[in-house]
Amino acid sequence: MTGGRGLVYTGSMAVHDMEATARALVGPGKGILAADESLPTIQKRLNAVEVAATEENRRAYRQLLFLTPELAEFISGIILFDETLSQKTDHGVPFPEAITRAGMIPGIKVDLGAKPLAGFPGEKITEGLDGLRERLAEYSRLGARFAKWRAVIAITDGAPTRFCLEANAHALARYAALCQEAGLVPIVEPEVLMDGAHPIERHQEVTEQAQQCVFEALFAQRVNLRAMLLKPNMVLSGKDCPRQAGVAEVAIATFRCLQTTVPAAVPGVVFLSGGQDDIRATEHLQALSRFVPAPWELSFSFGRALQDRALRIWRGKAANVAAARQALYHRASCNAAARNGIYSDSMDSSGKTF
C-alpha cells in the first residue's frame, strides 16, 4: 500500500491510520501526558520527594498516573519510557493495554538521550538511531501507536552552532521516517532550553532556526507531515534574564515562530513545559488560544507541568494516591480548558491544596 508522497506502508497501521492517530492526539480539548522520564530523570524526580527510585516505585508511580479516573476526558495519549511499556498494573494488565482500555493512546520515547556533540564543547546530539528499526517493531508489538524523540538545544554566547542544529534536525528526521515506516506517529521535539540570561528575542531567534532546520530535514527525508506532531518549547525569556516577558508577549513570540516555520499540513503542535511553573504554563497556553483557529491544533504534551503537584502529594504513600490523582486530573482539566480558551485564574484559586 502506498500513501501520500510515495510513502510505502510496511508496518501494522496504514498511512491513513497514522494520520487519524495524529489528529486524535490533538483532538478537541485534549492533550498529551509526558511520563517518559529516563532512568536518571525519574530518579531525580522521585528522590526529590524522598522516594527511592526502585523499579517497583517507578511502576507504582506510573500506575498512579495512568489509572487516574476519567483522565481521558482531558488526556488523549501518554508517552511512556521503555521500561514502563513492559510493566503491568497491580492486576497484571500491561500498561499499554490499561491505557488503551481507559480511552487513551499509548506512546513511547525512543531516543537514548542527549550526549555531548564531539568537537562542539557544550552542545549535544541526541542518540538512538542504531537498531531503531528493530526497536520500533518491538514497541509496536507491545502496543505503542506513537513515538517521541527529543533534541536538546542550549543557548550560550557561542551556541547553538548551525552544525548542532542541523545534526539534531537530521537525527529527528531519520527517527521520524523510521517511525512512519513502522506505522508509528512520530512526535518531533526540538527543545530550545530556557536556561540562561538571554532575552526572549534570542530565544525566539534560536527556536525559529531550530524549527526551520527540522522542517527542512523532515521534507528532505520524505516524512509525511500529516502523520506527525511537533513538540516545541514555548518562546520565553531566559530563566536568569532580568526582564521576564509577560504572558501575552510569550504567546505572540511563540505563535510568530510557528507561523514562520510550521507547514499547515502538520495536524498539531503540542508544547512541552520545559521547567516553567505549572500554572504559568497553563496561562501561556490560554494566551495562545487567542490565535485559534490556527493552521494546526495548539495543545500540550507536558511532563512536569502536569505531574509536579501529584508527585509532591504522593511522596510514595499509598494513602496519598487518591489526592495525587485529583491533582493530576485538576491540572489536566486546567490545560484542556486553556486549549479551549476558557481557563481562568479562579480554576486555580479555589482554595484546594493542589
Binding site for ligand 5MM (CB under 6 A): 34, 36-38, 41, 113, 150, 191, 272-274, 302-305
- In the complex, the smallest distance separating the C-beta of residue 130 from ligand 5MM, rounded to whole angstroms, is 18
DSSP letters along 138-199, please?
A: HHHHTT--EEEEEEEE---SS-S-HHHHHHHHHHHHHHHHHHHHTT-EEEEEEEE---SS--
B/e letters for 101-126, b = 16+ CB within 10 Å, e = fewer, are: ebebbbbbbbbbebeebeebeebbbb
The Cα–Cα gap between 281 and 274 comes to 9
Q: Among 189, 191, 208, 297, which one carries the catalytic annotation? A: 189
Q: Which residues contact 350 (CB under 8 A, 6 or more apart)?
A: none
Pick from 113, 200, 194, 197: which is nearest to 154 by CA?
A: 194
Q: Which residues contact 28 (CB under 8 A, 6 or more apart)?
A: 340
Q: Does 56 qualify as catalytic in the annotation?
A: no
The Cα–Cα gap between 328 and 179 comes to 30
Q: Does 189 qualify as catalytic in the annotation?
A: yes
Amino acid at 352: K
Pick from 2, 11, 21: which is nearest to 222 by CA?
A: 2
By beta-carbon proximity to ligand 5MM, the closer residue of 15 and 301 is 301
Q: Among 30, 109, 148, 231, which one carries the catalytic annotation? A: 231
- In the complex, the smallest distance separating the C-beta of residue 57 from ligand 5MM, rounded to whole angstroms, is 16
Residue 293, preceding peptide bond in cis (omega within 30° of 0) = yes
Q: Kindly list the catalytic residues.
A: 189, 231
